[in-house]
Homo-oligomer: A and B are copies of this chain.
Amino acid sequence: MHFSTVEAVLEYEVKEPTHFCFNLEAAQWPTQRIVSEKLELSPPVIARCFEDPHFGHRLVRFDAPPGKLALHYKADVQLLQQYHDPNLEEAPVRDIPDEIFHYLLPSRYCESDVLCAAAQKMFGELKPGVSRVRKVVDWITENITYRPGSTCSTTTAKDVYVQRSGVCRDFAHLGITFCRALSIPARMVVGYVWFDEPPQDFHAIFEAWVGGRWVLFDPTGMAPADRLVRVGTGRDAKDVAFCTYFGNIELKRKEVMVLEHDPRPARVVRPREAAVA
């Protein structure tokens, strides 16, 4: 069992009355226990908090007037360790439960329909199972360059596959896309985890449904997947944006801090490229 303290500070300049929907809080999720937490908004606003029934994440919606807006979230979270059988098998499609069937379909950022032939050509002949998903992840790690600034909010898995660079959400989108193209349900997971290399930020990884359960994978190799404090789970990045807004705003400050209270085993760190202007 791991124990982490996570924290996010966000500051905005709100330029016109704007509706916000934040997704910052540690999720109520079977794999983690929120020991303590607080979310502060300044100035105080009347916010509606709710838990999304499909995805389990906790959203905060409110209208903000023009001016400064600051959020501060801090939580202590226990993570249950999960051991996965390295021989987990892919399910035939008939055994994929109705409620997760939709994770086989393409989504805004994951055109598994368009990339189907490429995925089949690259991974279609491999032995099905968790080892195949691992091969997909290895291909991404080896063939996509982590490069901040090389993608934007409308970049899709197809774009990333073509241009061969991106950031964590792009890596996750490509992993999800290949899995779905192989008839393996897959979805995005975002949250807090300590990066060996600065700067700290929110992280995006993915999970694939093998052996009758969801198994986490991080194609960036930036952090151990089982240390991630889960915030959101969704079809792709649009379902788990930390901030969705309707109005005119400017992000002035974003700081993410993670403190892991138990030591990590030593591991090989994958160097990241410096940010592109």
A interface, CB within 8 angstroms of B? 19, 21, 48, 50, 52-54, 59, 61-63, 92-94, 98-99, 101-102, 104-108, 111, 113-115, 117-118, 121, 143, 145, 153-154, 158, 161-165, 183, 238-239, 244, 246
User: Is B108 in contact with A239, judged by CB distance below 8 angstroms?
Assistant: no
Number of copies of this protein chain within its complex: 4
Minimal beta-carbon separation of A146 from chain B (angstroms): 13
Complex Cα spacing A19 to B238, Å: 29
10 closest cross-chain pairs (CB), A and B: A117-B164, A19-B93, A93-B246, A106-B108, A105-B238, A63-B94, A50-B98, A19-B94, A118-B164, A114-B154
| Nearest CB of chain B from residue A110's CB, rounded to whole Å | 8
CA–CA, A162 and B156, complex, Å: 13
Q: Write out the residue numbers on chain B whose beta carbons fall within 8 Å of the beta carbon of A239.
A: 102, 105
Q: How far is A161 from B158 in the complex, measured between Cα atoms in Å? A: 10
A165 to chain B, nearest CB (A): 6
Which residue of the partner chain B has the closest CB to A19? B93
Select from chain B the residue with minimum beta-carbon distance to A114: B154
Q: Can you list 10 A-B pairs, Cβ within 8 angstroms, ordered by A?
A: A50-B98, A52-B98, A53-B99, A63-B94, A105-B239, A106-B108, A113-B154, A114-B154, A117-B164, A121-B143
